[in-house]
Structure 1
Amino acid sequence: MVKTATAVLSALLLCVGGALAQDFMSPTVNIMEELGKLKNMEERLRTLEETVQNQRVLVEQLQKENEDRKVAFSASLLAFGSGYTGPFSSVTSPLIYKKVVTNYGNGYDSNTGIFTAPLKGVYYFRFYAHCHIGIKMAVSLYKNDKVQCSVFSVKPLSNGNASNGIVLILDKGDQIYTKLWDKSWVFDDPQSYTSFGGFLLFPL
């Protein structure tokens, strides 16, 4: 009986040992499967990083485009002091507005008096001209050498301002400026009576 019991116990121990060995060789956690999951997770993280980077570049591009669309300027004729501009027997060049108040987007050139459209769009422009008693005042706004609108006063009985404004569709590079008429004058002083300005309404 003792031998039989010992034999049975030995057999049981062998079975248990075999089972333990099998569990050790084939663990519940599949290492290859987990490695595959980690690799898949790395690929997903890499894809996510690329997506985030692409989104960052897109946001930067949109911010730059939005900044480029901010176009506005305002300037008056004399940088300091007061006085007349004109008359000239023959006017060949634009009025140059020296006192620049705003020039967002750097479209206006205070050396030439010309605004150059930095991008295609719909723009609004307005200009003012001041005259004194008995003086002929006449100014026109041009787009690429073609008159778009004007102000005019012939020997008024009192000092006064005239103004005009217009909405224009401009292509990139189009130029806007104002010119005196032949034999006419305008006056300006630190109050900025004679001025020129415009801004982008919306791009096209």
Structure 2
Amino acid sequence: CVCHVCLTLPNINIIAEMKKLQDLEKRLKNVEEMLEEMKKEKEALLSFHLCTSTCMYVCICIYMYVYMFPEKKVAFSASLLASGEGYTGPMKPVPTPLIYKKVFSNYGNGYNPDTGVFTAPIKGVYFFRFYAHCQGGTTMAVSLYKNDERQCSVFSWKPAANGNATNGTVLTLEKGDRIYTKLWDETWVFDDTAGYTSFSGFLLFPL
């Protein structure tokens, strides 16, 4: 016999309906996978855009630093004698700064090999270091000056053998400030082709 429920149900193909549900699930899964791929592509594009923007910013900064602001490249290094060997000094009084004639580098042209004076081309924080050498039996003493004001010194009093000394300092300079080294009265320094007595400095950062 046929029950009342069976008579009231519409004519449904269960297998066909299940197949439709399975197809719908597959399509939904495909849509989800497509959305996930689109999300990954979007993230990749954003990352690429960020990377490209960063690279462009760095390149622009480098270009501006190197080509538009060449005065910010400041560094020099020189030793005392251009050739040969010998002492400088003693003198009393010492009339002029030590003139380092053998220039190894002079970026920004702040150092003048005719006077021995470095003149700051821009305001900034600078680092300076100087070395001095003497042979046995002589007294060596050299000071670093900023605008005729002594900053730091090296000293060696009549060593039995060769004497060497070095000192350095970080200074804040205004544009036009002058930096140089100078002997003390009645002292000597020695130099030869090895460059024992030298003077160097460079800009740490502009202000």
Please report the TM-score for the alignment, with normalisation by the length of structure 1: 0.69
Q: Distance in 2 between matches of 1:199 and 1:117?
A: 10
Give the counterpart of 1:70 among 70, 73, 81: 73
Q: What is residue 109 of structure 1 aligned with on the other side?
A: 112
Q: Secondary structure at the match of 2:168?
A: strand
Superposed CA deviations along residues 127-150 of structure 1, whole A, max 9, x for unmatched, are 000011110000000000000000
Give the RMSD, CA atoms, in angstroms: 1.8
Q: What is residue 150 of structure 1 aligned with on the other side?
A: 153
| 8 Å Cα contact 2:65/2:72 also seen in 1 | no
Runs of at least 4 residues off by over 6 Å: none
Q: What is residue 121 of structure 1 aligned with on the other side?
A: 124
Q: Distance in 2 between matches of 1:103 and 1:187?
A: 23
Q: What is residue 96 of structure 1 aligned with on the other side?
A: 99
Q: Structure 1 regions of 5+ residues with no counterpart?
A: 1-57
Q: What is residue 6 of structure 2 aligned with on the other side?
A: none
Q: What is residue 80 of structure 1 aligned with on the other side?
A: 83
Q: Secondary structure at the match of 1:95?
A: coil
Measured after TM superposition, the shift of residue 161 of structure 1 is 1.2
| 8 Å Cα contact 2:156/2:163 also seen in 1 | no
Q: Structure 2 regions of 5+ residues with no counterpart?
A: 1-60
**Structure 1 letter corresponding to 2:168:** G
**Structure 1 letter corresponding to 2:197:** T
| 8 Å Cα contact 2:142/2:182 also seen in 1 | yes
2:183 maps to 1:180: yes
2:142 maps to 1:139: yes
Measured after TM superposition, the shift of residue 66 of structure 1 is 3.5
Superposed CA deviations along residues 104-155 of structure 1, whole A, max 9, x for unmatched, are 0000000000000000000000000001111000000000000000000110
Measured after TM superposition, the shift of residue 65 of structure 1 is 4.4
Please report the TM-score for the alignment, with normalisation by the length of structure 2: 0.68
The share of aligned pairs that are identical, in percent, is 68
Q: Distance in 1 between matches of 2:196 and 2:68?
A: 35
Q: Structure 1's 62 and 76: CA in aligned 2 closer, same or farther, altered over 3 A?
A: closer
- How many residues are matched? 148
Q: What is residue 42 of structure 2 aligned with on the other side?
A: none
Q: What is residue 199 of structure 1 aligned with on the other side?
A: 202
Measured after TM superposition, the shift of residue 89 of structure 1 is 1.6
Superposed CA deviations along residues 48-85 of structure 1, whole A, max 9, x for unmatched, are xxxxxxxxxx9976544442111000000000000000
Measured after TM superposition, the shift of residue 92 of structure 1 is 2.0
